[in-house]
Amino acid sequence: MRLVIGLLLSFVIAASIGLGSTWFALTQNLSFGALELGAWKGYPRNGTTGIDPYARAAIARNGELPVGSGDGVGFTAAVDDNGRPLDGRCDVVVRGTTPPARYFTLTLYTPGGQLVANSLDRHGFTSQELVRDASGEFEVTISPRARPGNWLPTGGIESYVLMLRFYDTSLGVATRAGREAPMPAIRSTRTCQ
* Interaction of residue 19 with another protein, rule CB under 8 A: yes
- CA–CA dist 90, 123 (Å, integer): 17
Contacts of 69 (CB under 8 A, 6+ apart): 44, 47, 48, 172, 173
* Interaction of residue 126 with another protein, rule CB under 8 A: yes
Q: Could you say which residues in the range 23-42 bind another protein, by CB under 8 A?
A: 25-26
Contacts of 52 (CB under 8 A, 6+ apart): 31, 32, 33, 45
* Interaction of residue 131 with another protein, rule CB under 8 A: no
* Interaction of residue 64 with another protein, rule CB under 8 A: yes
Question: For residue 3, what are the CA distances in angstroms to 13, 16, 18, 143?
Answer: 15, 20, 22, 63
Q: How many angstroms from the chain centroid is the CA of residue 67? A: 13
* Interaction of residue 47 with another protein, rule CB under 8 A: yes
* Interaction of residue 18 with another protein, rule CB under 8 A: yes
Q: Which is nearer to another protein, 16 or 191 (CB)?
A: 16
Contact 184, 85 (CB under 8 A): no
* Interaction of residue 112 with another protein, rule CB under 8 A: yes
* Interaction of residue 71 with another protein, rule CB under 8 A: yes
Question: For residue 163, what are the CA distances in angstroms to 33, 99, 191?
Answer: 18, 15, 23
* Interaction of residue 129 with another protein, rule CB under 8 A: yes
Listed ranges 36-44, 82-90, 103-111, 177-185: which one lies at the site for another protein (CB under 8 A): 103-111
* Interaction of residue 188 with another protein, rule CB under 8 A: no
- CA–CA dist 38, 155 (Å, integer): 25
Residues near another protein (CB under 8 A) are: 2, 6-7, 9-19, 21-22, 25-26, 46-49, 51, 53-54, 56-57, 59-72, 74, 102-103, 105, 107, 109, 112-118, 123-124, 126-129, 155, 163, 165, 167-168
